[in-house]
Structures are given as structure tokens and as C-alpha cells.
Amino acid sequence: MSPSQPSSPQPDPIAGPPADGDDMAPTALTSRAPHVPADRLVAEMVPPPRFQDARFDTYIPDARQPSQAEAVQVLSDFADGIDAGAGAGTAKRRWFARKPAAPKGPRGVYLDGGYGVGKTHLLASLWHATPAPAERKAFGTFVELTNLVGALGFQQTVRTLGDHKLLCIDEFELDDPGDTVLVSTLLGKLVDAGVALAATSNTLPGKLGEGRFAAADFLREIQGLSAHFRPLRIDGEDYRHRGLPEAPAPYDTETVTRTAYRTPGASLDDFPSLLDHLSKVHPSRYGAMCDGVEAVCLTDVQAVPDQSTALRLVVLADRLYDREVPVLTSGKAFDELFSDEMLRGGYRKKYFRAISRLTALARDAKPLVAGEAA
């Protein structure tokens, strides 16, 4: 349940279009509240556009971090070893045959490491390397997986994903006890059906939930989740900052507005209004909300007022990053979005990931301003 948000003064109005009037008015994310049918949620469980071309041979390990090269080899072997008989045909026969013995040892691999070390690239590479048609492999974030259960129902989700050879779960985190029980039960059912699992997270599987709820009370479920995975540690620094310049400082409102009007497919919103809109749209729809948007322009960026708002913003940042949508802003810098208290709390890794990703998208937006100035 989201806490009530404190009232705040109305943001300054966004400046109007350029004086020449020749440019097309940008769209507004606040005007979008898409309906996403359940079958689209299933069909879109593939690596996002940013990682469509991700392969093991395009991952560049840091020579100073041997765990990165090791991860490539382990995952490549994992893809080669996924049972070719698991999935649809075997699943159908199980209704009439004796239940097969449970596979020995973990049926999954769990990539643990800090943000920006290439875990999602490796996870997408595993999806591409697994010898199975796309409809028998699924790739999605943890949030998208729980949203799928909400859309299809638990039993239908088990039937749908139990037909697969591989399920890849990006950004695996447990934020509440309900998710712990739900995911523990779901993954147990999928492993029994012969589905191989792969996940990424910034938290070791046995430590999931710590700092968010009374994880000790759900130790059995967490240990059950942990038993499904072989942890694989990936060390390194955030590649988004490796040898790259710092993110550009926020621009003034007039520059952001002018750029929005001159950029085909851009959106333009004031940040407080966007945060309010996110509270009215289910996070499972944030990706669809960004459909067709080529650049996001935001004015009056401020620190988020509370944790519920912050977590919704994290999901939006993930969807924009997946789609490689540049973000141009006025107001506060992205490293001022979250309070010190938030950055010390149980969700700090989510917030640091969002800052890292939004910073990368801010760099991507710099050429838009340069083009506007030209």
C-alpha cells in the first residue's frame, strides 16, 4: 500500500513551443495509460532492445577481474548443457507417466554482482545461446514475472512457463513476504517441470529480503529459492562509468522544452506530474507507456518524496534503459533523486542502479541538445 504523499506546490508550467512554430508538439507520458493484454506480457518476455544483439563474444571482460571471463565460460557451458528434452513434449507426457526424478543439484545459475558489471548482458547472451526457439525461452525482470502471475493467475503461469526450456529472471529481488512465498512456489513448480533457471541480482540468494522485511521469518522459503541456484560471483566496476565522461549537468527548462519540440518522437513532462501519473498506472504497463518514444524530456526534476514513489521511478528507469531512450532534464541532477536515508535503506541497490542507468541515458541525450543548438 502506498503511503499518502505530502502536498506540494504546483510546478511551474512548461515553456511553450519554439518561436518558429514549425515543430511537432511532443507527446506527454502523463497522457498515456495503456492496457496491456496478458498474451502481450508473455510474448514480450524476450531480451529488451538494448540487449537484442548481446552475445557471449560481445561481452568484453575486464582483464583485472577474472570472474568476468569465468562467468562467460560457465554460462556458455550451462547453455550447452540444458536438457534438450525438457519443455513441451516432456511436459505433455508427464500427465500420463510417472513423475520423473528431481534433477540432482541446482537447476539454475545465479549471477551476483554490483550494478553495471554486465550481468544483464550475460543473461541475455545465455538466452540467445540456449538451443531452443524463442517461444520456449522466457526473459524478464523479477517485476515482470510477478506481473505475469497477476495477469494470468498462478496455475496458468505454471502451465505457460512449464512448457519452456529456460527462464531468465533479471534484477531478482524480494521486496515483501508475499513475493517470497509466490516466487518460491512458482520456481519450485518450474524446476519440477524441467525448466532451467538463470537470474541476476545484487544480493546473494540466501540473503534476499534482508533490510526489506523480516526475512528470518521466511527463511524456509528463501533457503528453498537458494537451493535452485548455483551462485556465480561477477566482480568489477560499473562499465557505464568506465572511461566515460561524467553525465552532463541538467539543462535549463527552455533548452529541454525546445529540444523536445525539435526531436521527433520526444515526450515532454514536468517531473512532479509524471511521478503522480506513475502512481495511477500499474508498473507492468510502464514499458507500453514508453512505446514509440524516442527521447524523454523532463522539467523540474526534484528529489522523490517517498519510498513508494521512488520504487515506481526505478521501474520506469529500467524500462527506459532497456529501450535505450535518452533522457534530457532540467532541475536536480540524478544523484540527488533519492535521500540519504533511502540510499542507506533496504532498497539502496535498486536506487543506485536507477541513478547509474539514468546517468547513462543522460549522456545519450547530449547529442540531442547539440543538434538543437546547431
pLDDT in tens, the chain (374 residues): 444 344 444 444 455 565 555 557 999 999 999 988 888 888 889 998 889 999 999 999 989 999 999 999 999 999 999 864 444 444 443 433 444 444 455 678 888 887 678 899 999 999 999 999 999 999 998 888 888 898 889 999 999 999 999 999 998 776 656 677 888 889 889 999 999 999 887 655 545 444 444 444 444 555 666 778 888 888 887 665 555 556 679 999 999 999 999 999 999 999 999 999 999 998 888 999 999 999 999 999 999 999 999 999 999 999 999 999 999 999 999 989 999 999 988 788 788 889 989 999 999 999 999 765 44
- The pLDDT score that the predictor gives to residue 90 is 42
The pLDDT score that the predictor gives to residue 175 is 60
Global confidence as pTM: 0.74
Task: For Cα atoms 36, 37, 43, give the angle at the middle one, nearest 5 degrees.
Answer: 95
Asked if residue 197 lies in contact with residue 225, where contact means CB atoms within 8 angstroms, the answer is: no
Query: What is the strand order of the sheet 266-270 is part of?
Result: 266-270, 295-301, 327-331
What Rg do the C-alpha atoms of the chain give, in angstroms?
22
Residue-level pLDDT at 281 = 93
| pLDDT for residue 370 | 77
How far is residue 39 CA from its own chain's centroid? 20
